[in-house]
Structure 1
Amino acid sequence: MGASPDADPPPPLRRNRPLLLLVVEQLTGSVGRQVTALALPLLAIAHLGAGPLGVSALVATTYLPGVLLSPLIGVLVDRARLRRLLVAGAWLQVPVVGSVPLAAALDGPTWPHLFAAAALSGALGSVQGVALQSGLPRVVPAAHLLPANSSLTGARTVGLIGGPALGGVLIGLVDPAPALLVECAAYLVGGALFLALPASLDRPPREAGAGARSRIEALREGLAVIRRETPLRRQALAAAGLNLGGGAASGLFVLYAERELGLAPWQLGTVYAAYAVGTGAGVLAATPVARALGTTRAVRVCAVGAGAALFLIPAASLGAAFAVLVLYQLLFAPLATVWSIAMTTGRQLATPAHLLGRVNAFLQAVLTATLPVGAFAGGWLASRVGVVPVLVGAAAVALAGTGSLWLPRSVLAGVERAAA
């Protein structure tokens, strides 16, 4: 466990070896995953003639295991030896992902093979994500959790920027299948970095399993924490609203920018570059903003700000579309980034260590499931009522969800009873 905030000041993060290992892993892993995110759909198109439905289904398959298996993943993370789990998960990804370019070099991949590889890789990735969030408080002092989460987010952001560019170059030089070997190499490196983490991670928290003799009892114990802790329920509701609205908006964004607004390719590229700039600004601002406002208030202010910023997307149809969309990205990206970092840190500090895996898995399932649901619902509605009305509705859903963070506890309880 991390040191108490009242103890002697911990050493600076730059001397925290476990965190540095995790930052390097997140950087290399993010680059590898972004290359695969580009290469796998292109491989399905090139080798199997995939259309929009096939590509969409393949991408969705990578998210589905994390949603369906989240309760079991949470129990596994809370009871497992975390270092061994992280190492095994990373190195198991190598044959799973590597089987695709191997098949392409032999008789060619098949649809069942691609779907199986996507599902297995998605499940292993979900386990790793929950394990990392749950293990961080055990290698970083509580006083440094906020900047530590910012550092990990920053490393992933670099991968989000550089990964697609590297993937585009590799796929332009070779077939999409060999490009998948970049992710295999990233997982080999990641497993070695995880292996260098402290052996203390292989000792579960003292309370693990003390109040739960079976998996069912363990699940009930984790859900009891979420029912008991109002901030966790608020987080789930706000995340669901923001991701439903944001998923609908992101699913329509390129179509809207190209067909409705007539943006040139260079303008669309600049808009996406603004998102990367905004995310980087959010990483840098997260710690000072959360310390100035307090973690809880930072979550509330930034979540509502991110939800409100979505209204700028349909507002671009009124004029100055390019400038308005750049402004949207420069507002939404840092607000959403600070919100995510502060929310994760607050959850790590508030949740008992032996239950953190189950709580993280539940909230990860909410975040993972609502994005594709929002994208699908937004596309279906746009085909019937038009793109701009759906974008306005998506922003309203996001703002309503994040606004729930400000509801008085009595009102929130009434909303939950009505929903039940």
Structure 2
Amino acid sequence: MSQSDGVDDVPATTTSLWRDANFLTLWSGQSLAQFGAQITELAVPVLAVLLLGASEFEIGVLNAANVAAFLLVGLPAGAWIDRLRKRHVMIAADIVRALALAAVPALWMLGVLQIWQLVAIAFVVGIATVFFDVSYQSIVPSLVRPRQIAEANGKLQATYELANIAGPGIGGWLVGVLTAPVAMLATAGTYAVSVVALLLTRDREEPRAVDDRAPILHEIREGLQFVFGERLLWRIVGTTATSNFFAVISTTLLPLFLLRELGFTPAAMGVVFSLGAVGGLLGAIATPHIVARVGEARAIPLSAVGCSLAALVLPVAAITPAFAFPLLVVQSFALSFLVLLYNITQVTFRQRITPPRLLGRMNASVRFVVWGVMPLAALLAGGLGTWLGVIPTMWIGAIGQLLAAGFVLFGPFWSLRSLPDAPTARSSRP
């Protein structure tokens, strides 16, 4: 990364991002926003299931709306973001998310909130999240030096897991005290704080020159060709997409199972998620040590296989209600640990090998595939839940996740130790 990308004021001797005020400003704002997002992640299903009486199909539609934008606008979003200053995109997205979430308690207090209004708000928030997340993953290399990318991703992922630990527990308490709609105001407030932090973050990124731009469809194709032309990257995308598809089938109806069938309170559901998220925090801390011991390349298939096996515990918990609480905690703990090992390793690899001009499109192309399958899976889960019931649907999702690791398990990762630092030859693409 050249010094003109906004990191020229970072001393060459700096070895830790703890001394980088610019990164710390961004990190602090995102830490609070991640915490707030966890509150809403708990409040929305509680609101839908307990206050609006949503059916299995309606829960599926609600989950689909939340991530549908990655399928509908994910690819053009990447091309647009590569033409804009990513920090400005993130600011606009946070403003939209804060205003949309603030509408929920307003509609509730007026006595007119319905499930389909909640679906529409989830869709708007999802569109803003597409633009925010693609920019967020693309901005890191322009804020820190190349050798600091892995450290930056580790810190950001660790913060996310800390939010997973504290957010659901406090979110469950807030939902109990304030009701689910009012608790969502807390998330809107954290997005407002994120806007302030982004405004204070120094950024020297310049939009791409006009003569470096091509028609949108050409730029979208360029991003897709880069992702699926890389012999290691397309396998990672295949594993992630397959895992996400079946994981959503497994977990879409989980709130119905916990709140209705097991009779969990929102606070108890939050505690399950919080305790399980401790595994993610430990995973973020342990990832550098695991990578140093087994190798960066081998950490990817190892963590993918572990995630597939951990997914089987979820339906087991569903058919053993007496042991559901401890099994869910153990399953969530193991899955969070392994997901963090997988994500930190593969995201760092993606950022490292992608030319700066393609970062937005690379991340958007990856998100289009790995998140674009999620609304389809959520709708399928709603239909299967209505037809077969909650627990059979969870079994279908868990068994399907066993297939996910195949892309990386049978790839060239075992023969490598370190992943490359630059784009690889593309002759190995199937």
TM-score (norm 1): 0.82
1:89–1:124 Cα contact (<8 Å) kept: yes
| In structure 1, distance between residues paired with 2:365 and 2:351 | 14
Report the counterpart of residue 311 of structure 2 in structure 1: 310
- 16-25 or 108-117: which moved more? 108-117
Kindly report which structure 2 residues correspond to 1:96-135, keeping only aligned pairs within 5 A, or say none: 96-106=100-110, 108-109=112-113, 113-135=117-139
Shift of residue 379, structure 1, vs aligned partner = 6.3
Matched, 1:217 2:221: no
| In structure 1, distance between residues paired with 2:198 and 2:280 | 26
Match of 2:365 among 362, 366, 369: 362
1:71–1:361 Cα contact (<8 Å) kept: yes
Q: Which amino acid in 2 is paired with 1:284?
A: I
Kindly report which structure 2 residues correspond to 1:159-198, keeping only aligned pairs within 5 A, or say none: 159-198=163-202
2:91–2:198 Cα contact (<8 Å) kept: yes
| In structure 2, distance between residues paired with 1:78 and 1:45 | 39
| In structure 1, distance between residues paired with 2:47 and 2:384 | 30
Matched, 1:15 2:28: no
Number of aligned residues? 408
Report the counterpart of residue 144 of structure 2 in structure 1: 140
Kindly report which structure 2 residues correspond to 1:5-404, keeping only aligned pairs within 5 A, or say none: 10-43=14-47, 50-106=54-110, 108-109=112-113, 113-201=117-205, 203-204=206-207, 212-251=213-252, 272-313=273-314, 326-377=329-380, 394-404=397-407
- 28-37 or 316-325: which moved more? 316-325
| In structure 1, distance between residues paired with 2:427 and 2:255 | 39
| In structure 2, distance between residues paired with 1:76 and 1:46 | 40
Shift of residue 229, structure 1, vs aligned partner = 0.9
| In structure 2, distance between residues paired with 1:46 and 1:259 | 8
- 400-409 or 189-198: which moved more? 400-409
Deviations 1:360-416 (CA, angstroms, capped at 9, x unpaired): 11222333233454455456557777877766654443232212113347xxx9998
Deviations 1:93-149 (CA, angstroms, capped at 9, x unpaired): 333322333344446345665443322221111111110100001112221212211
2:61–2:378 Cα contact (<8 Å) kept: no
RMSD: 3.8
Shift of residue 343, structure 1, vs aligned partner = 0.9
| In structure 1, distance between residues paired with 2:57 and 2:391 | 24
- 83-92 or 49-58: which moved more? 49-58
Shift of residue 151, structure 1, vs aligned partner = 1.1
| In structure 1, distance between residues paired with 2:249 and 2:427 | 27
TM-score (norm 2): 0.80
| In structure 1, distance between residues paired with 2:184 and 2:152 | 30
| In structure 2, distance between residues paired with 1:41 and 1:318 | 23
Residues 385 and 414 (structure 1), Cα distance of their counterparts in 2 relative to 1, 3 Å cut: farther
Identity of aligned residues (%): 27
Shift of residue 91, structure 1, vs aligned partner = 2.1
| In structure 1, distance between residues paired with 2:172 and 2:330 | 27
| In structure 2, distance between residues paired with 1:118 and 1:313 | 26
Shift of residue 170, structure 1, vs aligned partner = 2.9
**Structure 2: which 5+ runs fail to align?**
413-425
| In structure 1, distance between residues paired with 2:427 and 2:87 | 42
Shift of residue 24, structure 1, vs aligned partner = 1.6
Q: Which amino acid in 1 is paired with 2:403?
A: A
Shift of residue 228, structure 1, vs aligned partner = 1.7
Shift of residue 78, structure 1, vs aligned partner = 0.9
Residues 38 and 336 (structure 1), Cα distance of their counterparts in 2 relative to 1, 3 Å cut: closer
1:209–1:218 Cα contact (<8 Å) kept: no
**Structure 1: which 5+ runs fail to align?**
none
1:146–1:345 Cα contact (<8 Å) kept: yes
Residues 390 and 228 (structure 1), Cα distance of their counterparts in 2 relative to 1, 3 Å cut: same
Residues 313 and 179 (structure 1), Cα distance of their counterparts in 2 relative to 1, 3 Å cut: closer
1:22–1:152 Cα contact (<8 Å) kept: no
Residues 89 and 176 (structure 1), Cα distance of their counterparts in 2 relative to 1, 3 Å cut: same
2:299–2:342 Cα contact (<8 Å) kept: yes
| In structure 2, distance between residues paired with 1:263 and 1:98 | 29
Shift of residue 193, structure 1, vs aligned partner = 0.4
Kindly report which structure 2 residues correspond to 1:402-413, keeping only aligned pairs within 5 A, or say none: 402-408=405-411
Deviations 1:228-279 (CA, angstroms, capped at 9, x unpaired): 212221111000121223223334657778999x899899877545421211
Residues 2 and 40 (structure 1), Cα distance of their counterparts in 2 relative to 1, 3 Å cut: farther
Shift of residue 10, structure 1, vs aligned partner = 3.7
